[in-house]
Chains A and B, each alone.
Chain A
Amino acid sequence: QVLLVQSGTEVKKPGDSVKVSCKTSGYSFEAFAMYWVRQAPGRGLEWVGWINPANGNTRQSQKVQGRLTLRSDTAANMAYMELSGLRGEDTAVYYCARDSILPGGGMDVWGQGTTVTVSS
């Protein structure tokens, strides 16, 4: 069974950094890209970034560019997202989601989400 299990709720102050982890199991971690998607309270889904665990290549949205670091640990089968310089608008549920590997295949397995609240 393919599972993505994320770290717990975070409460941060403006300017802080937050690190969210995504522990994977049930599949070959290096064979599938990992996406990060967030959802602000009452709002829609927003793509944050993407990492290829096989080579560490990443891409990120313009909205978080320069503040986002994506990493993967192939020995531990884990993906990490670190967002620095937090602002109120970064308050959201952050999801890791596995790429289905097919062209245009979408994200076929999702983590349970990690709530990040940024408040002074």
Chain B
Amino acid sequence: SYALTQPPSVSVSPGQTATITCSGENLERKNTCWYQQRPGHSPVLLIYQDTKRPSGIPERFSASKSGSTTTLTITDTQALDEADYYCQTWDYITMIFGGGSKLTVL
């Protein structure tokens, strides 16, 4: 079955840039989204259609795709960015989530 692979954890210092990767077979042919989930809260859509930001999402959050890997980049990382981040795509009619990456702001 189709799978998306993310690193379980990523650490970054405040003010630095964090990158979280998500890989999957033929991902270059699929639309991808990213979600942020703060502890105890519902997920929030950060990125859709690979690189687009919904209104209200800060410009510090961006995404890019190269081959079978999509990368979420958070610039000027702040303490409030500490959360779990999930990538998501579709495999035919099945929605697939990555396993999630816990971002720690040290």
Does A106 belong to the interface (CB within 8 Å)?
yes
Does B58 belong to the interface (CB within 8 Å)?
no
Does B80 belong to the interface (CB within 8 Å)?
no
A111 to B33 alpha-carbon distance, docked (Å): 18
Shortest beta-carbon distance from B15 to chain A in Å: 28
B84 neighbours in A (Cβ, 8 Å): 44
- Find out whether the CB atom of A95 lies under 8 angstroms from the CB atom of B43: yes
Q: Of A11-19, A77-85, A97-105, which stretch is located at the interface?
A: A97-105
**Complex interface residues of chain A between 26 and 64 (CB less than 8 A to chain B):** 35, 37, 44-47, 50, 59, 61-62
A113 to B40 alpha-carbon distance, docked (Å): 10
- Find out whether the CB atom of A108 lies under 8 angstroms from the CB atom of B97: no
Give the nearest-CB partner of B93 in chain A: A59
Known: A95-B43, A110-B43, A113-B42. A46 touches B48 (CB 8 A): no
- Find out whether the CB atom of A105 lies under 8 angstroms from the CB atom of B48: yes
Contact pick for A47, options B30, B32, B45, B97, CB 8 Å? B97
A110 neighbours in B (Cβ, 8 Å): 42-44
Shortest beta-carbon distance from A26 to chain B in Å: 15
Contact pick for B100, options A44, A61, A62, A113, CB 8 Å? A44
Contact pick for B42, options A35, A46, A100, A111, CB 8 Å? A111
- Find out whether the CB atom of B54 lies under 8 angstroms from the CB atom of A108: yes
A73 to B59 alpha-carbon distance, docked (Å): 38
A46 neighbours in B (Cβ, 8 Å): 97
B49 neighbours in A (Cβ, 8 Å): 102-105
Contact pick for A104, options B32, B44, B93, B100, CB 8 Å? B32
Which B residues are within 8 Å of any A CB, using their own CB? 30-33, 35, 37, 42-45, 47-50, 54, 84, 86, 88, 90, 93-100
Which A residues are within 8 Å of any B CB, using their own CB? 35, 37, 44-47, 50, 59, 61-62, 95, 97, 100, 102-108, 110-113
